Structure formats: structure tokens, C-alpha cells
Amino acid sequence: MGEVQKGLFSVIQKLKGTTEQELRIVLLGLDNAGKTTLLRKLASEDVNTITPTQGFNIKSVASNGMKLNVWDIGGQRKIRSFWKKYLENTDLLIYVIDSADKKRFEETGLELSELIDEENMKGVPVLIFANKQDLATASPASEIAEGLNLHTYRDRKWQIQACSALSGEGVQDGMNWISSNILNAKKTT
Amino acid sequence: MADDSEWIVESIAGYLGSPEWVIPVTDFMEHKCTVFDDEDENKLSYTEIHQQYKQLVEKLLESYMKEVGISEHQFLEACSSPFAKSKAVQAVFQPVVATDDFQLFKSLMVQKNMELQLQALRVMEERNGMLPDCLTDGVDSMGELEQQELCILKEVLRRSKEEYEQEMAIRTLSDDETGSCSTSSSDRMVVDHMDTPPARDTPPAEVIHTSQMSESSVMGRGEGERADGRDRADSGRVCPKPAAGRGSGSKVLGVLRVPVKGVEPKMSGSQAAESWLEEAWREAGISKSFTELSEVQQEQLQQRALYLRQQRDKLQALRKEQQPKPTKELSAAPVPAPASLEISMEEKKRLQKRKQLAEKLKEEVIKK
Ligand SMILES: Nc1nc2c(ncn2[C@@H]2O[C@H](COP(=O)(O)OP(=O)(O)OP(=O)(O)O)[C@@H](O)[C@H]2O)c(=O)[nH]1
Ligand SMILES: [Mg+2]
């Protein structure tokens, strides 16, 4: 980002007069992981008529007094190369995993580690949702964390949260983690 | 300091109403808006366009500030002043804020797209010289106008398609060579747009007909430089554009129009609509220029254009027979463009309707 661009950016922030409590969040993960379902759940919308995302969805969600601008980008393989275009100025990455899709654990792990290495993701906190816990075949979050080597992440805050985007269980816990960890961190910088 | 702020904000607001700003920004929006629909889900291509918009706005603002000697810092300060926070000023700065607010940007583009589609419809209707019965009634309310637009659309599409198909069927019977020209490929042609290149062959006829169509010659002149620029870019065009002065012309700017003492660029509705058609056409994969088309495509275009011209002539003759109800009645009715983003329920309904129109148009005209 050039000098002027930075300048304009802050000008716009001023014009909008809404700097404090706004977070830009990108919601990523493999196709079928449940990203759009989660997004809809966060916005208290119907989660029963969701089709695979070809482009991206944006919703502004109020949560714990913050305004979250959440960007949900399609996870199909052909779309993944576009992910990095959405990472600029991101305050938080939410990465969604289908906990019952064991066959693709390796694939999702690779995608995540690639994301983490992106320049724009430097130091950006990660919240991982181990989704679809309502399914009997779902692996527990702890197992997934191990598989992803989350304990090796030392350059950023991270959290893994078991949830079911469909039922909403566990989702609020993830949101609470965001408000207590990310928001405070952002204020001090 | 406070005085300074006010001066700076006013100066920039003034710039946002000047042709130096409005023309390139409007131009950009008109050329890029075709892909924007108001589906909830966004297309990946929106992002690229938003990026380009950002760059354009930055370039424009930067050079203006350099020109008048406002520093980045001063601008920043000024933007924090209470004056900058007033409603009027906020509205003016919307196109700037849109660089950082994708949702706002998208809504501006969606709206622009719909406006241009409606104008495109009018252009098509005029060029085809069709005036369905429903159009000859008085035009008072918006509701009626919309009804009529829907009517034109249906009529234009139905007639041109059916009759073209009929004609093709007849020709196919009598002439095997045209067999390559399938009806399905003809459907994707934007109705009269391909009129342009082959028009070279028959400029006199074209001139006569178009000048009959409406007050174009009067309004057309008022367009000044703008129109010239357009025509230059479009070097293939020999004939004056029909009906350049549709009543909707002044509304092209819609949301970009600013309440400051800005100058509204003189851009006619039909020009904007034409560029929309061009874009839509391109988007449909029908090539940038006539010469780049395959031979088959060229032939199809020419046939289509020829057919449409004949069709128009017939209809015009017909119209002269019957006592012609003036086209003016329709053209005088402006398309009210929403002045701001504060969308009322009524506005929403209208947008919904427009969206249906737009979809119909795209479906029928652009896609195979
Ligand atoms: N059982 C169960 N199914 C879920 C859950 N979350 C999502 N699903 C289902 O998983 C399927 C995919 O969900 P989406 O939200 O479309 O997934 P996505 O990550 O947005 O997929 P892409 O848009 O292709 O990237 C849908 O059929 C959802 O109903 C969950 O918590 N439990
Ligand atoms: Mg999705």
C-alpha cells in the first residue's frame, strides 16, 4: 500500500466516522465446510437453502458491541486461488473445517498453512471452527488441532472451537473469543 | 483551523461535482456496471472492478489535491471537522467512501446498471421504431411508465425475435446457404446494435430514418465535446445516433449527482445506454469489433442488421399511415433516478421491478 493509499484510507475512515469497533473478518475453508451456513447463522438468517458459493458473500454482523464485516468466499478448488485477494486489512481469519470429512483433513491443513504464510496474514489471529459436530462421525476439535499442528503457531493468537453451524451450538463461544481477544488487541495498536 | 477545514472540504466537494471528476468516474461506472446484479452473492469479478475503481479515485483525488495544494494531512484534518460530518457533505463524498466500502460500491454499480438497461430498452425501442399500443396512452405516474417499459421490452423482443426467426425459416427454405445461421445464435444478438457496422453500406437511409425518430438533432447538438469524444472512440459509426436526446439523459448520473454547485456532464441517455449495450455485448462474448468476428458471425450480424432495418422501415411506414402518436410522449417522461442511497419502500419496489426488467432483458438479448 502506497503513501497516498494509506492516506486516503484513513481519510475514509474519518469520513465514515466508524473506526473503533469495526472488524474485517475473512471466512475461509474448503468447499462444503459450512462457511456460508455459519455466516447466515451469525446474521440470524435461514440456513436451509444454501447452495455452494461461486463468488463471495458479505454480511455485517453485530456481535458483543462490535461490528463484524464478514467476508465468506467460496471454497471450491477453482476459487481458492482468489482467496489471497481478500486478505488485505484483515483483522481476523475464521477457518472452517468439516470435522466429519476425514478424507480431506490433509487438504484443509495444507490450505490453512498456505494462508497463514501469506504476507497479508502476518500476525493475523485465527479462529478455527471444527464444524459439523452434530454429526456422529465428527472428529473432536482436539484431534483436529493436533492434525493441524496448531500448537506450532507462535506468531499469532489462535483458537479452535467445536461447533455446529447448522444448530448454532458453539458458535457464540467463538464470537466471545473474538470480542475478548481480538478487539482489545486492536485497540492497543 | 476550522476555517481551513471548511475551505478544504468545500473545495474537494466542489471538485467531486466538476466534470474533471464526474466524467471519468461516470464513464468508469457505465463501462463496468454490466456485470453487477443485486443478487446477495457477489461475483468474484466485482472485486477486480472495485480495485480498479479505487485506483481511479485515488489518482483523481491525488492530482486534484496536488493541483490546489492541499496536503494529505490537511485533508485528513478537514475530514474530522464537524462540517465534514454534515449530511450534505457526506452525500457528496459517497463515491469516495465507496472505494473502501464494497457494499456501497456494489449498490452504486447495481443502480447504474439498471438505469442503463432501461435506457438501452428505449434505444432499442426507438431504433426499431416500435410503439406498442400501451405506449400511446398518457404518461403520468411511475407505475404506468414501468408498465410501459415492460411492454416495450416484451414487444421489442417478441417481435424482433419471432419475425427474424420466421424470416430465417423462409430464407432457409429458399436458400440453403443461410442454413448456417441458426436461430439460436441470432437470439444472442443485441437487437439493433449490430446496426452500426453494416450501416456504412447504407448511410443515407439511416440518416433519414433516424432523424424522423425524435428530437435527436436538437438535443444531440447540446452534447458538445462529450458526444464528439464518444463518436471518435466509435469510429465505425457513420450515422448520427438516433434519438440521442431521450428525456432520461439528464438522469444518467443518478447517485453521483451532487448537491454542490457542480456541473452535470452533458451525456445523453442513449449514449450511456449504448455503452451499456456494448458492454453487455462484449460480456456475452460477441467480440469487440466487427472486423474481429468470424465470417459466419459477420454474416449473421449483417443479416440481422439488414433485417432489423427493414423491419424498422416497415413499422415506420405503418406508423405514418396511422396517425402517428408522437414518440415524444414517452421520451418526455424521465426515469427518476434515486438521488441518494436512502431507499424507501417504494424505491425498493421500483428497483425490484427494474431488476426483473433487467433480468428479462439480459436473458432475452444477451444470452443464447
Ligand atoms: N450436519 C451439518 N451440516 C452442516 C453444518 N454446517 C453446514 N452443513 C451443511 O454442509 C453443506 C455445505 O454448507 P455450506 O455452508 O454451503 O458450505 P461452504 O463452506 O459455504 O461451501 P462453499 O460455498 O462451496 O465453499 C450444506 O449442506 C450445509 O447444510 C453443520 O454444522 N452440521
Ligand atoms: Mg459457501
Counting Cβ atoms within 10 Å, is residue B39 exposed (0-12), middle (13-18) or buried (19+)?
exposed
Handedness of CA A166, A169, A172, A174 (dihedral sign): negative
Distance separating alpha carbons of residues B220 and B226, to the nearest angstrom: 10
Residues lining ligand 1, judged by CB closer than 6 Å?
A 29, 31-37, 50, 52-53, 74-76, 96, 131-132, 134-135, 164-166
Q: What is the pLDDT of residue B269?
A: 54
Q: What is the pLDDT of residue B45?
A: 96
Q: What is the pLDDT of residue A105?
A: 97
| Domain total in chain B | 2
Q: What is the pLDDT of residue B59?
A: 92
For residues B252 and B355, membership in a common domain is answered with yes
Q: What is the ipTM of this complex?
A: 0.89
Whether the Cβ atoms of residue B303 and residue B181 lie closer than 8 Å to each other: yes
Q: Which residue, of B110, B129, B148, is where some domain finishes?
A: B129
Q: Is A83 in the B-facing interface, judged by CB distances under 8 Å?
A: no
For residues B207 and B106, membership in a common domain is answered with no
**DSSP bridge partners of A131:** A98
List the single range of A98-107, A177-186, B13-22 with lowest mean pLDDT. Answer: A177-186
Q: Is A53 in the B-facing interface, judged by CB distances under 8 Å?
A: yes
Tens of pLDDT along A44-75? Answer: 999 999 999 999 999 999 988 889 999 999 99
Distance separating alpha carbons of residues B248 and B267, to the nearest angstrom: 10
For residues B118 and B232, membership in a common domain is answered with no
B44/A82 Cβ within 8 A: yes
Q: What is the pLDDT of residue A52?
A: 98
Handedness of CA B244, B250, B254, B255 (dihedral sign): positive
| Mean pLDDT value across chain A | 90
Tens of pLDDT along B189-207? Answer: 333 333 334 433 433 433 3
Q: What is the pLDDT of residue A93?
A: 97
* Gap from CA of A52 to ligand 1 centroid (Å): 8
Question: Is A51 known as a binding-site position?
Answer: no
Q: What is the pLDDT of residue A127?
A: 97
Residue A78 clears pLDDT 50, i.e. is over it: yes
Cβ atoms within 10 A of the Cβ of B177, count? 9
Q: Which domain holds residue B358?
A: 162-367
Q: Does residue B50 fall inside a structural domain?
A: yes
CATH superfamily entry for domain A20-188 = P-loop containing nucleotide triphosphate hydrolases (3.40.50.300)
Q: What is the pLDDT of residue A181?
A: 85
Segments of chain B with pLDDT less than 70: 1-3, 124-125, 127-368
Task: Extract the C-alpha cell encoding B118.
Answer: 432501461
Distance separating alpha carbons of residues A100 and B184, to the nearest angstrom: 46
Which residues of B sit within 8 Å Cβ distance of A? 40-44, 46-47, 57-58, 61-62, 72, 75-76, 79-80, 84-85, 90, 93, 96-97, 99-103
For residues B178 and B106, membership in a common domain is answered with no
Q: Is the pTM of this model over 0.90?
A: no
For residues B223 and B266, membership in a common domain is answered with yes
Q: What is the pLDDT of residue A120?
A: 96
Domain ranges of chain A: 20-188
User: Which residue has cell 485528513?
Assistant: B76
- Atom 14, ligand 1: residue with shortest CA distance: A34
Distance separating alpha carbons of residues B245 and B331, to the nearest angstrom: 8
Q: What is the pLDDT of residue A108?
A: 97
Residue A133 clears pLDDT 50, i.e. is over it: yes
Of all residues in chain A, what percent are helix, strand and coil, respectively (each to 5)? 40, 20, 40
Task: Extract the C-alpha cell encoding B203.
Answer: 448511410
Whether the Cβ atoms of residue B119 and residue B43 lie closer than 8 Å to each other: no
Among the partner residues B44, B57, B80, nearest to A56 by beta-carbon distance? B44
Q: What is the pLDDT of residue B80?
A: 74
B84/A57 Cβ within 8 A: no
Distance separating alpha carbons of residues B313 and B205, to the nearest angstrom: 10
Contacts of B217 (CB under 8 A, 6+ apart): B211, B240
